[in-house]
Amino acid sequence: MFEKLKERAEELEDSGLQIHLSRKKKIMIGNRYRIIGYMNDLMLGILYMIGSILFMTDADRVLSTSFFLAGSFFMISRAFIHIGRDIHLKRFSREDFQNKEY
């Protein structure tokens, strides 16, 4: 399944991504790191909301605290997403160093 997705995916110049669904339809993602950040923020909000609702009801405190803990994990990963967006690693060949195209 992932091999077919890789075949349909096309890298764009500005760290974007195009996924061809059919001849006339394709998904264009402008900035992958921004989309990943939005998805992370969405999961963070959902987990904190569930944890808050469970904490207010008579639900088990361990269960509600575990949702807060999972939300904290997403909050920490948010910082790593922002760091990854700003720092890009690129593999250079010997020719790149000789031509100084970096």
pLDDT band at 85 (very low <50, low <70, confident <90, very high): confident
Rounded to an integer, the average pLDDT of 74-101 is: 74
pLDDT band at 1 (very low <50, low <70, confident <90, very high): low
CA-closest candidate to residue 55, choices 69, 43, 68, 71: 68
pLDDT (0 to 100) of residue 80: 87
Residue 99 in this model has a pLDDT that exceeds 60? yes
pLDDT (0 to 100) of residue 14: 52
Tell me the Cα Rg of the chain. Answer: 20
Contact (CB, 8 A) for 4 and 12: no
Cβ neighbours of residue 94 closer than 8 Å, sequence gap 6 or more:
none
Q: For 37, what's the count of Cα atoms within 13 Å in the CB-facing half-sphere? A: 14
What is the per-residue DSSP string for 12-77? -TTS-EEEE-SSS-EEEES-HHHHHHHHHHHHHHHHHHHHHHHHHTTS-HHHHHHHHHHHHHHHHH
* pTM assigned to the model: 0.56
Note the pLDDT tens digit of each residue in 21-60.
777 777 776 677 788 888 888 999 999 898 888 888 877 8
Domain assignments of the chain as residue spans, ordered by start:
1-30, 32-88
Q: Tell me which amino acid residue 88 is.
A: H
